[in-house]
Amino acid sequence: MSDVRWAVVTGGSRGIGRGIVHALARRGFSVVVNFRADASSADAACREALELGAPDARALRADVADPESSARLVEQVSALAGRIDLWVNNAGIAPERRVDLLETTPESWDHVVGTNLRGPFFLTQTVARAMIDQLAAGTVEEPQIVFITSISARFASVNRGEYCIAKAGLSMVAQLFAARLAGAGIRVYEIRPGLIETDMTRGVRASYDERIAAGLVPMNRWGTPEDVGHAVAAIADGSFRYATGAVLDLDGGLGLRIL
């Protein structure tokens, strides 16, 4: 068995995904940077990963909302690396427009839920089968799957209901796969980022700057992609071997109940 561990990060070319790629590269993982459209950003993320210590880094295009496309991604990774030690379900989208719950459209619902919930479910199904086969073949020892969800899994935002519902559903997907795969030797974790400074949050940054300054986040700052990357890297290193289905809130204390 090769000593080189391979990790796949969906949506790894930008934002939180790129922070995860960087952190895993620093831990000596070879990485696959999955992307849907922006090949130049994915290539840049791969170059950065190599500079940070990754033995290998490859960009692979696939649309995680499409089960056929994502199945091909798993096949490509298996052919390229021969193993999957860590799979990070990070890719996700926000609604194109934030609108009141009473104005949410079926089109926006289908688009967001298809990408953020339906897609990762069927992708993880395929990944799990590949990991089980690799365990049986002795190719991997302790494969792990991480779901990047959101505090929106339990915080209601009535101007992006479809996003909250998709993330809440994805949280249950993580629990389901953790339960199903525990006996197979595959550990599953969920990370719930809070307010993270990325291009996805750029449009609401000013309003949240004010709210953070007013005390919304006890740690009094935005989170960063690097914060999420550090958490994934800790999981990747096997720091939580007697845990599966665990949920880690990375929200600066936003979820605390404070009197």
The two tokens of residue 10 are: 């969906």
Among 163, 189, 208, 242, which one carries the catalytic annotation? 163
Residue 147 host element (H or E): strand 144-148
Are 211 and 169 a contacting pair, CB within 8 Å?
A: no
Q: Is 208 a catalytic residue?
A: no
H-assigned helices in 27-160: 39-51, 67-81, 106-113, 119-137
The residues near 35 (Cβ < 8 Å, ≥ 6 apart) are 11, 12, 13, 41, 42, 59, 60, 61
Nearest 10 degrees: Cα torsion 30, 239, 192, 215: -120
Q: Which value, in Å, is the radius of gyration of the alpha carbons in the chain?
A: 18
Q: Which letter does DSSP use for residue 191 in this model?
A: E
Are 167 and 124 a contacting pair, CB within 8 Å?
A: no
Place of tokens 């995860």: 20
Report the C-alpha gap between 111 and 96 in whole angstroms: 9
Are 235 and 146 a contacting pair, CB within 8 Å?
A: yes
Which residues are known to be catalytic?
163
